[in-house]
Structure 1
Amino acid sequence: MFQALHVWLLALGGAALGGAFVPAAAQTLEVLTHSSFSLSEELVAAFTEETGIEVTFIQGGDAGETVNRAILTRANPLADVLFGVDNSLIARAAQADLFEPYTSPQLARVPERYRFSELVTPVDVGYVNFNYDVAWFEAEGLEPPTSLEALTEPAYRDLTVVQNPASSSPGLAFMLTTIAKFGDGWLAYWAALRDNGLQVTDGWTDAYYTAFTRYGGDRPIVLSYASSPAAEVVFAEEALDAAPTANLFCEGCVFEQIEAAGILAGSDNVEAARTFIDWLLSREVQEDIPLNMFVYPVSEDAEVPEVFREHGGLPEPEHVAEIAFDEVAANLDAWLEAWTRVVQQGQDPGAVR
C-alpha cells in the first residue's frame, strides 16, 4: 500500500502554505511512515511546485513495528518525522523520549478530543473493529457474531484472526479494547479466544490479505477497520451495490485510533519538520487521506467521501471503548507481557499477573 514518494516541501524560514514564498536552497527531510501511508501523486506534485525541501518517505512496516524501529534507533534517528504513531502507541513512544514536542497552529481546526498528546500532532482517525465476510456466513448458514463474547463460542471456533499487539497498532488497539471492556477478566477472555482457535498474525496485511476468507484464507472474521467495507467497494473490479464485508459494532468493542505525526528527537531539520506537519493538516491533505489510507480526517472543515458514509459508517459513541491513557502508560509493558504468556505461550490466565 505504501509507495515511495519524493516531494519538495517548504524551505526553512516558516513561510505559511499558500502565502508568499521564495524557495531556498534544496534541503532534505526524511519521514518514517507505516506501510499504509499514501497520498495522491497529483496532490504531492502540486505541493512540490510550491516548495524547496526534498522529502523522502521511508517505510517502516506496521505502525507498531515502525514505532519500535524508531525507539531502537533513537540515538541515531532514521528520519526527522515519524508518521503513524497513534493513541495506543504514544505511551511507549513517550517512555522512550522519542519526540520533540510541537504545537501546530493548524490544530485550531482539529477538535480537542483528537489531541491526545502534546508530543505529536493528530492527522487522521480510524476505528478498529472486526469485519466479517458476508458471503461466507450466508453460504454456511451461520449468523454473524453480534458481540465480542460470541467469538469464544463453539459456533465460531477457528474463524477469527487478529494481530499481535506487540507489533501491530490495530492489534494493540484491540488488546486495549478488551481491557476496557472486560476489566480484570481481560486475560480470561483472551484465553477463551485462544482455546477457540484464535489465529494471530504479526500485522494487518497478513491478517487481511492472507488469513481472511475474502482473499483465499480460512478466517471469515478479521480484526480491521470500520472503513474496510468502503475500501472493498472502492477497489472492487466490478461496481457493487453493497459491500461484501460488514462491521461488527457492539457495546464497547470499537477502538478510536487517532494517528499522528511527530518530530523525532535529534532531528537536524526541525523547522522543515514543523512545516511538513502543518501541511498534513491542510484541507487539501485532509480530504486526500480517506480514499488513500481509508481513515477519516481530523480537521473539522474536511469533507468525507460519500462511500464512507454509505458503506463504512461511524460507530455510535456507546460502541467505542474508553480507557485512560495514563493507565496505559503505567501498565502497557506488563499488559503486553501478560498477553504473550497467555495467548502465545498458553499459560493459565489465573497464574499471570
Structure 2
Amino acid sequence: MCENTMKKNLNFLAILLVLLVINSQISVRSEKVQTDNVLTIYTYDSLLADPGYDFIGAFANHSRISKDDINLILLSDANQIVTRLTLEKDSPEADVVIGIDNVLIYNTKKNNLLKSYNSPELVNISSDLIANLDSEKFVLPYDYGIIALYYDMNRINTTTNPEISNITLEGIIENDLDKKLIIENPTLSSTGLGFLLWTIAVYGDPEIDFKGMLDQDWRNWWKNSKDDIRIAPSWGAAFGEWYEGEENRSIMVSYGTSPAYSACLYNDTSQGAFLSHENGTQNAWLQIEGIGLVNNAPHEDLAKDFIDWFLSKELQDNIAENNWMYPANQHAEVSITFNESAINPEHVNILNSLISSETIGANLQGWMDDWETLMSTGLNISGYNSIFIIIALLGAVVILKKKIR
C-alpha cells in the first residue's frame, strides 16, 4: 500500500473515530434520560420484524401504559445481549431480555444475570421445551426451530444435486457442496453456534471422551472444509450473500422454518431446507429461544407482566409468520402453508439429547476457542475487514465513555 493511500485511510479512520466519540457522548445523555422509562427490554433487531408485528404497541395497549414509556433496545444478535447484560451486571438497566437460547443460557447463569420466574403461562407450553431450554426457568421458551441448511432451488435442487435429499455432513465435503455453503461465525452468531454443536454432536470429541453419533472428531470436518466454506459474521450477513448469489453460494446455515417465509408471504416455494442423515436418521440441532427476567430488574413487577403477555396466545399467534419459528404456546395459531413448508422438529432426530447440559456448560468456551484456532489460517471470510476496524474504534469509544461518565 502506498504512503498516500495509508495517510488517506488513517485520516478516514480518525474522522470516523471522532464521529463515534461524539455519538458516544450523545448516547450517554440519551441513556440518562431513559432512566425514567417504565420498562426496558433488550432483544435482537429482527424480533417479530418481518413483515412486522408491533409488540411494543400491543403490550402498551394491553397494560394501559404509554408506548413512549417502553424502552426497546435492539442489538444485532443474542450474543450481544449477553455481553451487554454482563457489562451492566452490577447496575442493571434492562428489565427483560428476549432471545437467550438453549446454549447462551449457560453464560447468563454462570454470571448470575437473570432471575428465575415461574410464569403462569407455562401451563400452555410443553414441559419438554421448558426442560430443554432451562429447567430452572431463568429463561422461558417463546419459540423454537431446528438449525438447517437453507437453499435456493433455482440454483441447486434434487435434480442438479440428488445427493442433498439423503446427504451426510461428510457428504457435503465429498460432493463439493462446501464450496456453495455460507456458515455464520459461531463465536458471533447463535445460528452459527447451533451448527457448530450440530457437528460436535454428530462427530463427537475424543478430547473429552464424548463419542457423539460417529465416535470421531468434530474438528476434522472443519479442517477439511475451511478452505471452501464461507464464514459470515452474522445471519443477516450470510443471508445477504446467499440472496445476492455471490460466487454461487446457494446454501446457508439457517432454520428448518426458513422456507416458510417465501411460501407464506409470496406463495413462492422455490426455497427449501435439508438436514444431515447419519446412521439412517435425519439429524438436526434444536434451537429454543427464551425470554428472561433480569436479576435486580428496576421494574420487576411490570417485567413479569410483560413476560406473561409475551407467552400468551395474543402474542404467540404472531410468532410463526413474523419471527419465522414455531411458537412455544401450544394454543398459538400456525397456518397450513407454514406447516407444509417448514421442517417440523417432531419429525427429525434431535441431536441435543446427545450432549448433556453439564457437558455443554463445561466445554462450550473451549469448543469455541478450538474453532477459532483451527479456522484462523486460510479462512474464507466475508465482511470482516470493516468489522475489525469498527470493533477497534468502539473499544476506544468505550474507554472514552467511561471517562465521560
TM-score by length of 2: 0.72
> Within the alignment, does 1:313 sit opposite 2:343 as a pair?
yes
What's the counterpart of residue 151 of structure 2? 132
2:229 to 198, 206, 226: 198
* 3-state SS of paired residue (2:150): strand
TM-aligned CA deviation for residue 62 of structure 1: 1.4
Structure 2 gap segments, 5+ residues each: 1-35, 206-216, 380-405
> Within the alignment, does 1:342 sit opposite 2:374 as a pair?
yes
> Within the alignment, does 1:244 sit opposite 2:270 as a pair?
yes
Structure 2 letter corresponding to 1:101: S
The count of corresponding residues between Structure 1 and Structure 2 is: 315
CA–CA distance in structure 2, aligned partners of residues 148 and 316 of structure 1: 21
1:183 to 204, 211, 215: 204
Instruction: Report if aligned partners of 2:291, 2:307 keep a CA contact under 8 Å in 1.
Output: yes
Map Cα deviations across residues 289-341 of structure 1 (whole Å, 9 max, x no partner). 11110011111111212221121131455432122112111111111101111
Map Cα deviations across residues 94-123 of structure 1 (whole Å, 9 max, x no partner). 111111111111111111111122211111
What's the counterpart of residue 85 of structure 2? 70
CA–CA distance in structure 2, aligned partners of residues 46 and 150 of structure 1: 47
> Within the alignment, does 1:151 sit opposite 2:172 as a pair?
yes
CA–CA distance in structure 1, aligned partners of residues 329 and 93 of structure 2: 29
TM-aligned CA deviation for residue 165 of structure 1: 1.0
> Within the alignment, does 1:89 sit opposite 2:66 as a pair?
no
CA–CA distance in structure 1, aligned partners of residues 39 and 376 of structure 2: 40
CA–CA distance in structure 2, aligned partners of residues 33 and 44 of structure 1: 12
> Within the alignment, does 1:141 sit opposite 2:128 as a pair?
no
> Within the alignment, does 1:272 sit opposite 2:297 as a pair?
no
TM-aligned CA deviation for residue 61 of structure 1: 0.7
CA–CA distance in structure 2, aligned partners of residues 250 and 140 of structure 1: 18
2:244 to 204, 215, 229: 215
Structure 1 gap segments, 5+ residues each: 1-25, 348-353
Structure 1 letter corresponding to 2:231: V
CA–CA distance in structure 1, aligned partners of residues 58 and 184 of structure 2: 37
Which structure: larger Rg? 2
1:112 to 123, 127, 130: 127
Structure 1 letter corresponding to 2:369: E
TM-aligned CA deviation for residue 159 of structure 1: 0.9
What's the counterpart of residue 227 of structure 1? 257
Structure 1 letter corresponding to 2:239: Y
* 3-state SS of paired residue (2:351): coil
Instruction: Report if aligned partners of 2:53, 2:318 keep a CA contact under 8 Å in 1.
Output: no
**What's the RMSD between the two structures over aligned residues?**
2.3
* 3-state SS of paired residue (1:170): helix
* 3-state SS of paired residue (1:299): coil
TM-aligned CA deviation for residue 229 of structure 1: 0.6
* 3-state SS of paired residue (1:257): strand
2:141 to 109, 122, 137: 122
CA–CA distance in structure 2, aligned partners of residues 208 and 293 of structure 1: 15
Instruction: Report if aligned partners of 1:137, 1:144 keep a CA contact under 8 Å in 2.
Output: no
TM-aligned CA deviation for residue 70 of structure 1: 2.2
Instruction: Report if aligned partners of 1:132, 1:221 keep a CA contact under 8 Å in 2.
Output: yes
Instruction: Report if aligned partners of 1:147, 1:248 keep a CA contact under 8 Å in 2.
Output: no
2:76 to 61, 85, 88: 61
CA–CA distance in structure 2, aligned partners of residues 44 and 268 of structure 1: 18
TM-aligned CA deviation for residue 253 of structure 1: 3.6
CA–CA distance in structure 2, aligned partners of residues 60 and 256 of structure 1: 23
- CA pair 335-43 structure 1, distance change in 2 beyond 3 A: closer
What's the counterpart of residue 49 of structure 1? 61
2:361 to 304, 329, 339: 329
- CA pair 27-205 structure 1, distance change in 2 beyond 3 A: closer
Instruction: Report if aligned partners of 1:32, 1:79 keep a CA contact under 8 Å in 2.
Output: yes
CA–CA distance in structure 2, aligned partners of residues 325 and 28 of structure 1: 35
- CA pair 172-261 structure 1, distance change in 2 beyond 3 A: same
- CA pair 320-268 structure 1, distance change in 2 beyond 3 A: same
1:33 to 37, 43, 50: 43
TM-aligned CA deviation for residue 83 of structure 1: 0.3
Q: Percent identity among equivalent residues? A: 29
TM-score by length of 1: 0.83
Instruction: Report if aligned partners of 1:249, 1:315 keep a CA contact under 8 Å in 2.
Output: no
